[in-house]
A and B are shown apart, each in its own frame.
Chain A
């Protein structure tokens, strides 16, 4: 196990609702990244937070937003849910954001189903 935890494990929402997913980073890691994994696809980068600031964003609309807290835990918020938001949401923590060679350690994911 990586020490990265996510909650909840599963979630069912209806279209138009809002959802908050939570992630607790591995001890000593100050960087968290969020990914969306649709069925049959590889994970797609949503955004990254480093020391409570957004540090890079993928091709996702503004209704996907995040927060990182002083203890380096993190939230992913999605507003106005759409059917295509149904996916496995993964968070990954790493020691720093720079250099590019640090390993990202993934949590077990939250599976979101939008009806």
Chain B
């Protein structure tokens, strides 16, 4: 069965410091991995995705993610956090027999304090 785990409900970092939001996945076959961000009372905004190729994926707003097949992880990173990055972040995986379906984690609330 396809699933995603985001082990941290909350991540707190100081502005200017690097941030990491963790994600591990389970999927049969090749995974397609996605990160979305959700601001209060808003829908999900696409940040980046891994399909194949380079394990380091660069996305919007300076975010990047590292795919690690042996650890089945897809952690979201940013070298220098901004207060405006504070939001709810979701990791999602697509794969297996129902390719059209995204499986989401529970989300990680990122707070960047000044």
Using a CB–CB cutoff of 8 Å, the interface residues on chain A facing chain B are 2, 4, 6, 31, 33, 35, 40-45, 48, 50, 55-56, 58, 90, 92, 94, 97-101, 103-109, 111
9 closest A-B pairs by beta carbon, nearest first, are A42-B104, A100-B99, A106-B43, A106-B44, A101-B51, A108-B43, A48-B100, A45-B101, A97-B100
Chain B: interface size category = 20 to 34
> Judging by beta carbons under 8 Å apart, are B95 and A105 in contact?
no
Using a CB–CB cutoff of 8 Å, the interface residues on chain B facing chain A are 4, 32, 34, 36, 41-46, 49, 51, 90, 92, 94-95, 98-107
**A45 contacts across to B, CB distance below 8 A:** 101-103
Bound-state CA distance A88–B44 (Å) is 11
> Judging by beta carbons under 8 Å apart, are A42 and B106 in contact?
yes
Min Cβ gap A79→B in Å is 23
In the complex formed, the residue of A with least CB distance to B48 is A103
What would be 11 A-B contacts, judged by CB atoms less than 8 Å apart? Answer: A4-B43, A35-B102, A41-B107, A42-B105, A90-B44, A101-B49, A103-B49, A106-B43, A106-B46, A109-B42, A109-B43
Bound-state CA distance A87–B4 (Å) is 21
Given contacts A42-B105, A101-B51, contact A33 B100 (CB under 8 A): yes
> Judging by beta carbons under 8 Å apart, are B100 and A101 in contact?
no
**A90 contacts across to B, CB distance below 8 A:** 43-44
